[in-house]
Structure 1
Amino acid sequence: MKFIGIVGTNSDRSTNRKLLHFMRTHFADKAEIEVCEIKSLPAFNEPKDKTPPSSVKALSDKIEAADGVIFATPEYDHSITAALKSAIEWLSYTTRPLINKSVMIVGASHGLLGSSRAQAHLRQILDAPELKARIMPSSEFLLGQSLQAFDDKDNLIYPDKVKELEECFDEFLLFVQLTNELVKTEKFKTEQNKKFSWKQAAEEGVS
């Protein structure tokens, strides 16, 4: 399987980036994980023609071709970063590659609780009509005290968290298999969802 891992911040010192790089190496015998950055994406500006910038289109194409997506999100002020929200807004407003795409959410933060509030918020966002991602349920990986969690080679040094991450990833592999089989039978629905518009929904509601 091939997955896209999205670093949910534009910080150069992100421990979420370290987490994704660790996952790419640690799970290399199970899946290919390409780590993607959002630092180069422009701020979302709602273009009238709904044409994405080239950097957004490149990320969208990678998501479209992947078997699943792994979001690694920090927590800023009880939510996801503005950069990640902007990236998701580009995808939802233009190409909508996340519709029916299997998604795993992980997160690291400097505090004790990990990114629990941000992950909950991200789940809500990804369930919006323009996104409709298939998010792995009842499983979240929270890495607290992340500044001390990696060695100088970006290896996760907490054995209990490594074991937990392995269990979560194995669940995700199974989730992707089941979801992709289900989605094959709903191809028309996927294309229909990509054409969703609030204007049309409002008109149909009135009629």
Structure 2
Amino acid sequence: MKLIGIVGTNSDHSTNRQLLQYMQQYFSKEAEIEVCEIKDLPAFNEPADKVAPATVQELSNKISAADGVIISTPEYDHSIPAVLKSAIEWLSYTTRPLIDKPVMIVGASHGSLGTSRAQGHLRQILDAPELKARLMPSAEFLLGHSLTAFDDNGQLVFPEKVQELEECFEEFRDFVTINNELVKNHQAKAELNRQFSWELDANGGQN
């Protein structure tokens, strides 16, 4: 199974990056996880031709080729970082690779609550008509006190969180397998979703 892990921040020192790198190593026998950065993507600026910049297209291609996506988001002011929202806006406005793509959301924060509000907002965003990601239901991995969660070798030191992450990841692998089996015969519907536009009504006319 090939998965893409997206670091949902432009911070040079992020425990969300550490979390994805830990998952990449810890679950290496179960899946190949490529950790991808978004910090070098340009800020979203609606292109008249709806063509993605090269860096966005590269990320889009990796998402399309993967069996599933893991997004690790911090929580800034009770929501996701602007850089993550910008990256998602590029994808939703141009290539739309997340349609029918299985997505697992995880998050790490310095406080005790993890990233519960940010994850809730991210679920709402990814359910938008231009995105239509397949979100793993009833599962959140919230890593609080993340500054003390990893040792010098990048290993997660909270045993209860290791067990929780194992269970969540096992569920996600099953979710990816089941989801991809369900959608493989509905490519026409997926392509129709990619053509969605708020500027067109159901009959193809302008609103």
TM-score range, shorter chain: over 0.9
Spell out the pairing of 1:1-207 with structure 2 (5 A cutoff): 1-201=1-201
> Shift of residue 200 of structure 1?
1.2
Q: Please list the CA deviations of residues 110-137 of structure 1 after superposition, one character each: whole Å capped at 9, or x if unmatched.
A: 0000000000000000000000000000
1:162, 1:14 → 2: CA distance? Answer: 19
Kept in 1: contact 2:105–2:140 (CA 8 A): yes
Give the counterpart letter for 2:91 in structure 1. Answer: L
Considering only aligned residues, what root-mean-square deviation do their CA atoms show, in Å? 1.3
2:185, 2:205 → 1: CA distance? Answer: 27
Q: Please list the CA deviations of residues 67-106 of structure 1 after superposition, one character each: whole Å capped at 9, or x if unmatched.
A: 0000000000000000000000000000000000000000
Q: Report the 3-state secondary structure (helix = DSSP H, G, I; strand = E; otherwise coil) of the residue aligned with 1:12.
A: coil
Q: Report the 3-state secondary structure (helix = DSSP H, G, I; strand = E; otherwise coil) of the residue aligned with 1:200.
A: coil
> Shift of residue 204 of structure 1?
5.5
Kept in 1: contact 2:200–2:206 (CA 8 A): no
2:40, 2:183 → 1: CA distance? Answer: 31
- Between structures 1 and 2, the one with greater helix share: 1
Q: Please, what TM-score do these two structures have when normalized by structure 2?
A: 0.98
Q: Report the 3-state secondary structure (helix = DSSP H, G, I; strand = E; otherwise coil) of the residue aligned with 1:150.
A: coil
Unaligned runs of 5+ residues in structure 1 are: none
> Shift of residue 153 of structure 1?
1.4
2:109, 2:173 → 1: CA distance? Answer: 25
1:40, 1:19 → 2: CA distance? Answer: 20
Give the counterpart letter for 1:78 in structure 2. Answer: H
Q: Report the 3-state secondary structure (helix = DSSP H, G, I; strand = E; otherwise coil) of the residue aligned with 1:129.
A: coil
1:50, 1:114 → 2: CA distance? Answer: 36
> Shift of residue 202 of structure 1?
6.6
Kept in 1: contact 2:199–2:206 (CA 8 A): no
Runs of 4+ deviating beyond 2 Å: 201-207
> Shift of residue 27 of structure 1?
0.1
1:55, 1:65 → 2: CA distance? Answer: 16
Q: Please, what TM-score do these two structures have when normalized by structure 1?
A: 0.98
Q: Please list the CA deviations of residues 150-177 of structure 1 after superposition, one character each: whole Å capped at 9, or x if unmatched.
A: 0111111000000000000000000000
> Shift of residue 184 of structure 1?
0.7
Give the counterpart letter for 2:185 in structure 1. Answer: T
Give the counterpart letter for 1:37 in structure 2. Answer: E
- How many positions carry a matched residue from both structures? 207
Kept in 1: contact 2:123–2:135 (CA 8 A): yes
Among the aligned pairs, what percent are the same residue? 70
Q: Residue 173 and residue 67 in structure 1: after superposition, are their counterparts in 2 closer, same or farther (change >3 A)?
A: same
